[in-house]
Chain A
Amino acid sequence: DAGVTQSPTHLIKTRGQHVTLRCSPISGHKSVSWYQQVLGQGPQFIFQYYEKEERGRGNFPDRFSARQFPNYSSELNVNALLLGDSALYLCASSLGWGQGETQYFGPGTRLLVL
């Protein structure tokens, strides 16, 4: 069975542009979470969605938004990109939400903002 998939794998953008990152969860998983990992740091929580509803939001500006579709895939959108948005963006899926389920991480999207 396929694991969590993310696209694109790498992306280069310039300041002020917009980016959309995509995530497909493991089949049967209804929860998707997004994380930002800056080089040398631990991942930082951005959003969690379960059954297409936002269940949690981290300390990120409103330039960051996300949504989950009926097939449980998800998009992360970042507007008005800043140099500091350069990072590895990780998507994780789990069966449910709030019960300590194991999260399975995708390979990530490496975003470079110039």
Chain B
Amino acid sequence: ELKVEQNPLFLSMQEGKNYTIYCNYSTTSDRLYWYRQDPGKSLESLFVLLSNGAVKQEGRLMASLDTKARLSTLHITAAVHDLSATYFCAGDDKIIFGKGTRLHILP
């Protein structure tokens, strides 16, 4: 069964800085998803990555997929406080989720 590991699990960063969240998965997965969850809220879909080398960008967030390395990254550029949330990656048809990265951006 697919296992998904994210790191770091907790991240506190300053506004204006860049950082990357890593998502490793254990077996072949045809697709990789990134979600955002605000405290007490449901999940918001950010990106769906469907093929090796796929790169998608929305605002200050950019996600990429390397199926050979079984690695996806979520890069945050010039972080702003509004990006504080928990970010999940997930893979496989059954959408197996990682434990999430709790991101806190300090003003």
Contact = CB atoms under 8 A, between A and B. Distances in A.
Contacts of B45: 102-105
A100 B97 contact: no
A4 B19 CA distance: 32
Contacts of B90: 42-43
Contact of B97 (A43, A48, A98, A102): A43
Contacts of B97: 35, 42-45
A105 B95 contact: no
Given A100-B30, A108-B42, A56 B94 contact: yes
A61 B51 CA distance: 34
A105 B48 contact: no
A90 B43 contact: yes
The prevalent SS among residues of A at the interface is loop
Contact of B93 (A44, A92, A98, A106): A98
Q: Bin chain B's interface residue count.
A: 20 to 34
Contacts of B48: 100-102
A42 B98 contact: yes
A107 B37 CA distance: 11
Interface string A70-106: 0000000000000000000010100000101111111
B62 interface: no
A58 B30 contact: no
Contacts of B75: none
Interface of A: 33, 35, 41-45, 48, 56, 58, 90, 92, 98, 100-108
30 contacts: A35-B97, A41-B99, A41-B100, A42-B88, A42-B90, A42-B99, A42-B100, A43-B43, A43-B90, A44-B97, A45-B94, A45-B95, A45-B97, A48-B93, A48-B94, A56-B93, A56-B94, A58-B94, A100-B31, A100-B50, A102-B45, A102-B48, A103-B45, A103-B95, A104-B45, A105-B42, A105-B44, A107-B41, A107-B42, A108-B42
